[in-house]
A and B are shown apart, each in its own frame.
Chain A
Amino acid sequence: MTGRSVTYLLSISWQIQNIAVAAVVVLMVCLLTFMLMYMLGQSLQERKKHKWRMISDMLINKAIFYEERDEIEDQILESVLEAAKKLTGNKHFRKFITGELISAKKNISGASSDSLKQFYLQLGLEQYALRNLDSRQWYVKAQAIQELTIMDTDEFIDQLQAFTDDKNEYVRMEAQAAMVQFKGFEGLDFLDAITYPLSNWQQIKLLQLLSARPPSNIGMDKWFSSQNPTVVIFALKLARNYHRFELHDAIASCLDHDDADVRLEAIRCLNEIYTDETSDHLIAHFLREGLRNQVAMAKVMQTVGTKRDELFLFDLLTYDSDELKLHAARALVNASKDGLISLEKFSKQSEEAIARILMHIKAEKVA
């Protein structure tokens, strides 16, 4: 490379540098202008919302005090609804009024809640939600499902059912919640067919929705043999929460499942649903398990263990894991009236950790 070309390259790069610095400054000004415009837009929107809030407050008020309505009140309501309907073409208003109705609906029930649904339908907001079900954006779709569910529009249940095995987890989660919200335990029939896993979050949500329903004797043992391990786990949680003692053997058979998480849930389930044979099942499967599930089994033995399990429990006290020893010691104490005395005798002949465990258990008893 000649000296001239080096000089040329240097002068070019010098120019590029200057242009780059200028570009950065221009970009900075652009970002600041955008930020300013956005903040101004937000304050304008806030002012509009202030006016819209008068409409939403009036609607919610009328829904809550529906019994106090007379002819004049009804006329006022009609005109408010008319005014609101004209505004529903504005997407910002739609979003605002839907949000307000939804948050009110979440907090009230009975006839007031029905009135809110009526207002929602009278404003034609459900048509926008139904249109959003066809959106390509998952969050628009999921939000539409949630909106229709909260507003109790069970007339669209068939359209929502189709989304219970959607490829997007948030869409299917909302659709599954919708089924349970509308149909209670019957709504769980989507469990027969779902191919995607049911997250722990979703399981908690479904159990929460079901807790508002009266207990049902729905046949859930079919889900114990599902190919989807998360469905089996959910079914086990259902059996545990609803004390389905008749399912004990089916639950115990899950101890042979291939999935360690299913086995863990089955172990936990046996803490609530147990018979005289439960400890035998646990002991028979104990050696096949890893430490996590073994600890869970030892915990369950505190509930189901009896004097005849003492030998097994003493054996656990010789394992390496202190956590296992602690739970086994608790189980021993609970297994029979003289459990504590047996443990005291054992601690005198064994390592120091057992003596400390004994002290710990004694302190628990006092507390």
Chain B
Amino acid sequence: MSWQTFILHLFTYGILLYSIILLACYLLIGTFSIMETRSYLHKNSFTDYRVLASSTEAPSMSILAPAYNEGPTIIENVRSLLSLHYHNLEVIIINDGSKDDSLERLIEAYSLYKADFFVNQRLKTKPVRGVYRSSNPVYRKLIVVDKENGGKADALNVGVNIARSDYFVCIDVDCVLEQDALLKLAKPFLESTRQRVIAAGGVVRIANSCEIEGGRLVKVNLPKQLLPRIQTLEYIRAFLLSRMAWTKLNGLLLISGAFGAFDREIVIDCGGYNPKTVGEDMELVVRMRRHMEELGEPYKVAFIPDPLCWTEAPSTYRILGRQRNRWTRGTIETLRSHKKMFFNPSYGILGMLSYPYWFFFEFLAPIIEFFGILGLIYYCFEYAVNWQAVSIMIGVICLGILYSIFAILMEVLTYHQYKQKKEILHLVLAAILEPFVFHPFVVWSAVAGNFDLMRKNNSWGEMTRQGFTANKKN
């Protein structure tokens, strides 16, 4: 056996072994997801959330919504947040040094005045220029904070300092929440008796092509454009399968920055959001878990499979690339900051399972895939077509499609948001197209994220959104 053949076999079977382990992980994720989702749906079937909606005993909640240059949509978005069903609620909008007229628009629309407000600086942040309250009692729940620009994490830390509630919900100001989203998100904190629930996440769904009226979602539609449609499938897979499975194991590491609730006391004890990373959402959850593990206190990160939050997905490759590049950098920064936990048994599931999974299958997967394909192309040109490697690649692609179809099936069996058979067919077609028109680009963006991190490029990457105006029902 020549050395070239030996390397080829090593390479081929290395990839095969990696794929088999990944397949085993997918099988386990599928199984745990079914178990957890069934259990949740059973519990939810006889839960009356109206009890909480009207109760004065419900815990207070603060919504923290950082806003940067959101002028054109901010009034409508804030109105949507103020209309949420929850008794003890305060809505804190943090204007993170916007260069547009967001603040002026808010002042005018909500009759705001600058109040003398003592900000308890438990978390260090960029200076606060002013805190605004409304002179109109209808908007008594609203607080608007104007601060110097410091990024999303810094803005959220200001919100944490100002919030008076035991729990806070961080959201992207341009997201559309279901009316009962907070009631559902509050429940895990209230029902747990043996473990302290430190955070709870909810499912984020894609709102492109959906009908939005007065800041409320009135009709769910599958996105008409291909990229958002594939992302719809990707989100179903990530939220309904992966996060549910990790919740079953109590090993969830990520709560989306677009929508998640946190125990304020623990967040402050941990030092709040880290403004030095672009993956502040994941980093915070990992740090909170690490903190609880080090304290030796029983805790849980909960997750709710109900679709509660709707967001606009990138519809061009350019914006998608920036987003995925940033996600990759965030993942790496988080893993690097907490490398102490890697296969460290003193961190339990967190150290032995969650962290290694993220390392091998979230961080390394795109790199392995990228160099695997490069290697295969090189070998084909230099020597001959390696049919065995091509067969493995086809197998992996088919497995990916199978996993996506399983995710679609789970969606149909549980929440069935896309009622028309045509929409389900389009999702299946998206599953078949994804490995060819979407996945390679995502892999490339992730690899570029690695390079950018090495070059110390820590920009957020501008996320231009079209807004929901175009989808509004007339």
Contact = CB atoms under 8 A, between A and B. Distances in A.
Contacts of B67: none
B424 to A, nearest CB: 7
A142 B409 contact: no
A3 interface: yes
B interface bracket (residues with beta carbon within 8 Å of A): 35 or more
A199 B193 contact: yes
Contacts of A31: 402, 405-406, 409
B187 interface: yes
Contacts of B120: 322-323, 326
Given A143-B45, A359-B118, A24 B51 contact: no
B295 to A, nearest CB: 14
B91 to A, nearest CB: 17
A27 B409 CA distance: 13
Contact of A39 (B401, B424, B428): B424
A55 to B, nearest CB: 23
B462 interface: no
A interface bracket (residues with beta carbon within 8 Å of B): 35 or more
A312 interface: no
B118 A200 contact: no
Contacts of A143: 45-46
B57 A237 contact: yes
A205 interface: yes
B116 A362 contact: yes
A201 B405 contact: no
Given A39-B421, A204-B190, A363-B116, A24 B402 contact: yes
Contacts of A198: 193
Given A31-B406, A200-B190, A139 B43 contact: yes
B57 A204 contact: yes
B395 A203 contact: no
A142 B44 CA distance: 12
Interface stretch (B146-154, B337-345, B386-394): B386-394
A201 B398 contact: no
Interface stretch (A15-23, A62-70, A115-123): A15-23
Contacts of B401: 28
Nearest to A137: B42
A92 interface: no
Contact of B428 (A32, A237, A322, A357): A32
B133 interface: yes
A126 interface: no
B128 to A, nearest CB: 11
Contacts of B383: none
B408 interface: yes
B100 interface: no
Contacts, number: 118
B406 to A, nearest CB: 6
A146 interface: yes
A27 B402 contact: yes
Contacts of B116: 356, 359-360, 362-363
Contacts of B57: 203-204, 207, 237
B7 interface: no
B412 A35 contact: yes
B21 to A, nearest CB: 14
B471 interface: no
Contacts of A356: 116, 118
B454 interface: no
Given A18-B391, A21-B395, A367-B115, A201 B424 contact: no
Contacts of B138: none
Given A35-B408, A200-B191, A204-B58, A3 B1 contact: yes
Contacts of B192: 199
Interface string A246-262: 00000000000000000
A360 B412 contact: no
B457 interface: no
A34 B118 contact: no
Given A201-B190, A204-B190, A360 B391 contact: no
Given A32-B428, A201-B190, A363 B115 contact: yes
A104 to B, nearest CB: 15
Contacts of B54: 208
Interface in A320-367: 322-323, 326, 353, 356-357, 359-360, 362-363, 367
Contact of B388 (A17, A230, A292): A17
B399 interface: yes
A326 B190 CA distance: 28
A124 interface: no
B13 to A, nearest CB: 8
Interface in B420-474: 421, 424, 428
Contacts of A18: 391
Contacts of B16: 13, 17
A204 B46 contact: no
Contacts of B388: 10, 13-14, 17
Given A35-B409, A201-B52, 7 more contacts: A24-B395, A31-B409, A32-B428, A35-B424, A39-B424, A170-B43, A201-B187
Interface of B: 1, 9, 13, 16, 42-43, 45-46, 51-52, 54-55, 57-59, 115-118, 120-122, 133, 187, 189-194, 265, 388, 391-392, 394-395, 398-399, 401-402, 405-406, 408-409, 412-413, 421, 424, 428
